[in-house]
Amino acid sequence: MEWEAVIGLEIHSQLATNSKIFSGASTTYGAEPNTQACAIDLGMPGVLPVVNKEVVRMAAMFGLAIEAEMGEYSVFARKNYFYPDLPKGYQISQFELPIVGKGHLDIELEDGTTKRIGVTRAHLEEDAGKSLHEDFHGMTGIDLNRAGTPLLEIVSEPDMRSAKEAVAYMKKMHSLVTYLGISDGNMQEGSFRCDANVSVRLKGEEEFGTRTEIKNINSFRFVERAIEHEIERQIEILESGGEIIQETRLYDADKDETRSMRSKEEANDYRYFPDPDLLPVVMDQAVLDAARDSMPELSDARKARFIDQYGLRGEDAGQITASREMADFFEAALEVSGGSDAKIVANWVIGEFSGALNREGLSVQEAPVSAAMLGQLVKRILDNTISGKIAKEVFEAMWQGEGDADVIIEQKGMKQVTDTGAIEVMVDEVLANNPKQVENYRNAEEQKRGKMIGFFVGQIMKASKGKANPALVNELLKKKLDS
Amino acid sequence: MSLGPDEVKKIAHLARLGIREEDIPEYARNLSDILSFVEHLGEADTEAVAPMAHPLHATQRLRDDVVTENNQREKFQQLAPQTQDGLYLVPKVIE
Amino acid sequence: MHTKTLTELSAMLQAGEVSSVALTEHFLDRIEQYDQDLNSFITVTREEALEAARAADERIQAGNAGPLTGVPIAHKDIFCTDGVRTSCGSRMLDNFIAPYDATVVEQFKQAGAVVLGKTNMDEFAMGSSNETSFYGPVKNPWDRDRVPGGSSGGSAASVAARLAPAATGTDTGGSIRQPAALCGITGLKPTYGRVSRWGMIAFASSLDQGGPMAQSAEDCALMLEVMSGFDEKDSTSVNEAVPDYRTQLSQGLQGLKIGLPKEYFSEGLGPEVEAVVRAAIEEYKKLGAEIIEISLPNTHLAVPAYYVVAPAECSSNLSRFDGVRYGYRCDDPKDLQDLYERSRGEGFGEEVKRRIMIGAYALSAGYYDAYYLKAQKVRHLISDDFRKAFEEVDVIMGPTAPSTAFKLGEKADDPVTMYLSDIYTIAVNLAGLPGMSVPAGFSEGMPVGLQIIGNYFEEARLLNVAHQYQQVTDWHRQIPEAFKGQS
């Protein structure tokens, strides 16, 4: 039997506003507990919500980016349930008329083909607070700083067929919201997280199987693993004649498994109804025009431009433009380098720089090497101050915080030797010390000589501690050997 | 519509209202009376009528994205039944 | 001094004939003397009142006083008052010291009014008799065996007994107009959105509206000028200029078209109440008004629609009272569910619990369409009835309540009968229109109110129509014998 997974994602993306969606309290992360929870966020008696203008603009930008249908009115509704981190006993969300309707997002699959994933809707809502389960005399502590932080909940169609596709979709969505500047996308801080709906069915079947929902996954790696495990679990159950129970499951990263969240799951009855404290939000042409005007260049457009303007290979351009930070980094480094050779800058960004980031698990912003520093390093390669090989040493030194490229080159005396006389002395010395190899070279056929010259180059580079200009070395060697 | 004791209990739980067992019959009677009364709504022909959520046909005004509130934790938490280290305390929440 | 209207007291203060401190002390003394029995106040803020009175006297001296500077008033205990217990008539908030001011409270503070205290009310404004208050029922000053009406019963009784010259109230289904009628005072429920709801503890958000309760239309005009206006903290507040209500009071009523809905004069209306209301209409004819019979055909659906919409909203609005951040928490909760269920079960009274359950039921899966959505559609029909009527007439008149004040306990066990006492007032809230109740006479010694309903934002017209009647009648100047006292 061949099984097929059916996956849909609900992504919660915090919107990068200064103040909360319905109050003037700050959204800054990491403040002392309950110091950023104002009377509105606390659900004090008599308080009322007023909608933050910025969230409407951000939702409009998002809607335009995924080419979504957007109705003229959207309505806030109350989702009623009791939980200690939900101060009012209801969450203000959107139900029947979401701000963003049907749209889509194209993802690239591993085989290089493109797949279109449907977006069912995206709606605005407020985040809840946090329950802290450390022991406070056997009690739970509630911090409501996060309560009221704006969220855009992006609901996909069940269009994904593997964990890999789900990750590709989540990454593309992450790239989109950060490109748009509507979310900081910080997954550690919970700014970007998702719930996955997973079911399996026999390949070729039309109907969906019973699905489970995996809650609150906050890393790309976990999404892939959680979904993979859930698919395996479901297939195992079905193949042994069992039945899937519709339930909410939690991914336990430590044990690398999903487990049922509530044993006695009670059917939720959220009693949605339009929030009478709020009026319909208008999304008219003026709002859309303003959003369109504030749209930055998005990844696909930027990739095309990088290929066109800088002559990058498609794959390289795709890799660099996958995140806005990386693409911004590239362009800034290119400018500092003098702008003449985009390919070498691209190689450094994709190679050494991305490698170092991955090695240390850092984001572009957290990197010890700035775009200006990398640009300067490339500039020194291009003006022959240093060789590419030395440049790698300089990069490592920059990464270790030893200063910028010029300082390190100067301090370590890494400047390339371009003095013909000095190199000639080294060439003569090497030739004199290796008469056998010189003889072999001269007796060899023309086409083999190219390879053999490498030996002499290596000896000279070694003698010069890598500082001799390789082009000059080659030129002089050839002149002397062939004469 | 007439509500039985089980339905009363179910609704009370949905609304997180602790009610005494001995009061349930009276709730059942009162709530059933009220529901029978509001069922007069069924007499109205609302086939072509749009629901009206609000008395005025206004739209939502939007607030500038500016931080206007400062920390009033101390004042607010004086009202709280139980706090520690700036947190509100509740009986252990089991996930 | 207590026999004077707010307007008269304002003039005396401005003229230096009396100080705010003396006036405040006089009313505080009356509260002390009479309110033990009447129970119209939950909290008396003596110290704060005297301090505000001293500040008001200085302001008057300095020559920058407004018409309400130094005038004592009372607030319904539904308006959050910074640093003062704001209970909403509930055990749930018996220990709640509001951490901020409602916009209405702030507006009166700015105007320099002196707040005597917070008045009694039905718990969370749910009731028509003031019997659901955690602090015990309020008595009707005209007959202390009878109810004052509700939910703003404390405000109505305190003004009728002249323990306060005027008070604020709120009206979700008649809670200003019905007690005003039953206590023989003048009360106005403004157009929805006219008065800010910020800091007014919500019962049913799409129906709630604050308004003035006073001795006369002129006094209501004075208060409404202070209370109304745009508030950026309330999304449902309307950004429309506040007219000078007082200057329009004196216009004549020649040619005024008064609509009498035939549904407001049908079965259920007490004959004596009808007689009083008809006599008042006769008075308007003498003032030059034209009487037109109209129909509001969906009137009979107003109470049923209301008892879906209001409980639905209240069931959600009252979810925040959970024993976590403020308010009542039960002793020794054994787990989270126990904390919720006992805090709410013990903190709320029976009527509040009933309405929360009705609302939760009406919104729950499988019932939403039949109850909530249906009621919202009927609401539209009711609103359309008024829209059509106002194409024909300037104001609509009828009784405020079907009977005069009933006996304490008389309807307490029968919610549906109690709900029907708001039969004439509820439709106005569903439509969001302004409505007034004006004293129009007595039936067996108990006051009868005339209701005047206006088109959206026509408070000025309502006040004018009421004021002209009060120029030719003195029902509004009557004081219950037991509270006349020495002036």
C388-402 pLDDT, tens digit per residue, is 999 999 999 999 999
Average pLDDT, chain C: 97
Range of the domain at B13: 5-43
Asked whether the predicted pLDDT for residue A265 surpasses 50, the reply is: no
Does residue A247 contact residue A212 with C-beta atoms inside 8 Å?
Answer: yes
Which of A21, A40, A47, A96 is best to mutate for the C interface (most C CBs within 10 A)? A47
- Contacts of the segment C226-229: beta carbons below 8 A, 24+ positions apart: C226/C68, C226/C107, C226/C108, C226/C111, C226/C113, C227/C104, C227/C107, C227/C108, C227/C168, C227/C190, C227/C195, C228/C190, C228/C194, C228/C195, C228/C459, C229/C107, C229/C196
What ranges do the domains of chain A cover? 3-289, 297-412, 420-482
Asked whether the predicted pLDDT for residue A252 surpasses 90, the reply is: no
Minimum-distance CB partner of A271 among C98, C340, C364: C364
- The confidence band for C297, taking pLDDT boundaries of 50, 70 and 90, is very high
CA distance A383 to A406: 12
Domain membership of residue B86 (yes or no) is no
Strands A192-202 and A3-14: antiparallel
Residue C48 has φ and ψ, to the nearest 5°, of -60, -40
Minimum-distance CB partner of A279 among C96, C199, C236: C236
Token pair belonging to A72: 């003229």
CA distance C244 to C229: 12
Asked whether the predicted pLDDT for residue A1 surpasses 80, the reply is: no
- What is the widest separation between alpha-carbon atoms in chain C? 70
| A271 contact residues in C (CB cutoff 8 A) | 315-316, 360, 363-365, 368
Asked whether the predicted pLDDT for residue A267 surpasses 70, the reply is: no
CA–CA min distance C230, chain B (Å): 12
Q: Chain B 37-66, CB below 8 Å of chain C: which residues? A: 37-44, 46, 49-56, 58, 60-61, 63
The verdict on B17 touching C (C-beta cutoff 8 Å) is yes
| B38 contact residues in C (CB cutoff 8 A) | 304-305, 307-308, 362, 371, 375
- Angle at Cα C42 formed by Cα C38 and Cα C45, nearest 5°? 110
Burial letters A216-232, b for 16+ CB under 10 A, else e: ebbbbebbbbbbbbbbe
| Range A420-482: architecture per CATH | Orthogonal Bundle (1.10)
A301-341 pLDDT tens trace: 999 999 999 999 999 999 999 889 999 999 999 999 998 99
Domain membership of residue B25 (yes or no) is yes
The verdict on B2 touching C (C-beta cutoff 8 Å) is no
| A52 contact residues in B (CB cutoff 8 A) | 62-63, 65
Interface residues of C toward A, Cβ cutoff 8 Å, are: 79-80, 86, 88, 93, 96, 98-100, 102, 197-202, 204-206, 232-236, 312-313, 315-316, 318-322, 324-326, 336, 340, 360, 363-365, 368, 372
* DSSP SS3 for C43: strand
Domain membership of residue B92 (yes or no) is no
CATH class of the domain at C6-259+391-483: alpha beta
Average pLDDT over residues A419-433: 83
CA–CA min distance B32, chain A (Å): 20
At position A315, the amino acid (one-letter code) is E
- The confidence band for A141, taking pLDDT boundaries of 50, 70 and 90, is very high
Q: Which residues does B60 contact at the CB level (< 8 Å), separation at least 6?
A: A51, A278, A279, A280, A281, A282, C235
C309-360 pLDDT tens trace: 999 999 999 999 999 999 999 999 999 999 999 999 999 999 999 999 999 9
CA distance B18 to C347: 10
- Contacts of the segment A455-460: beta carbons below 8 A, 24+ positions apart: A456/A427, A456/A430, A456/A431, A456/A481, A459/A430, A459/A434, A460/A423, A460/A426, A460/A427, A460/A430
Query: For the complex shown, is ipTM > 0.90?
Result: yes
User: Are B88 and C206 an interchain contact pair (Cβ–Cβ within 8 Å)?
Assistant: no
Q: Catalytic residues of C, which ones?
A: 76, 151, 175
Q: What is the pLDDT at residue A386? A: 86
Asked whether the predicted pLDDT for residue A449 surpasses 90, the reply is: no
Q: What is the pLDDT at residue A266? A: 59
- Angle at Cα C17 formed by Cα C15 and Cα C18, nearest 5°? 115
| A46 contact residues in C (CB cutoff 8 A) | 79-80, 98, 102, 197-202
What ranges do the domains of chain C cover? 6-259+391-483, 301-376
Q: Can you give the CATH number for the domain in which B23 is found?
A: 1.10.20
List beta partners, residue A114. Answer: A108
Domain membership of residue B13 (yes or no) is yes
User: Are B66 and A37 an interchain contact pair (Cβ–Cβ within 8 Å)?
Assistant: no
Does residue C169 contact residue C52 with C-beta atoms inside 8 Å?
Answer: no
CA–CA min distance A235, chain B (Å): 26
A204-230 pLDDT tens trace: 999 999 999 998 898 898 999 999 999
Domain count, chain B: 1
Does residue A146 contact residue A127 with C-beta atoms inside 8 Å?
Answer: yes
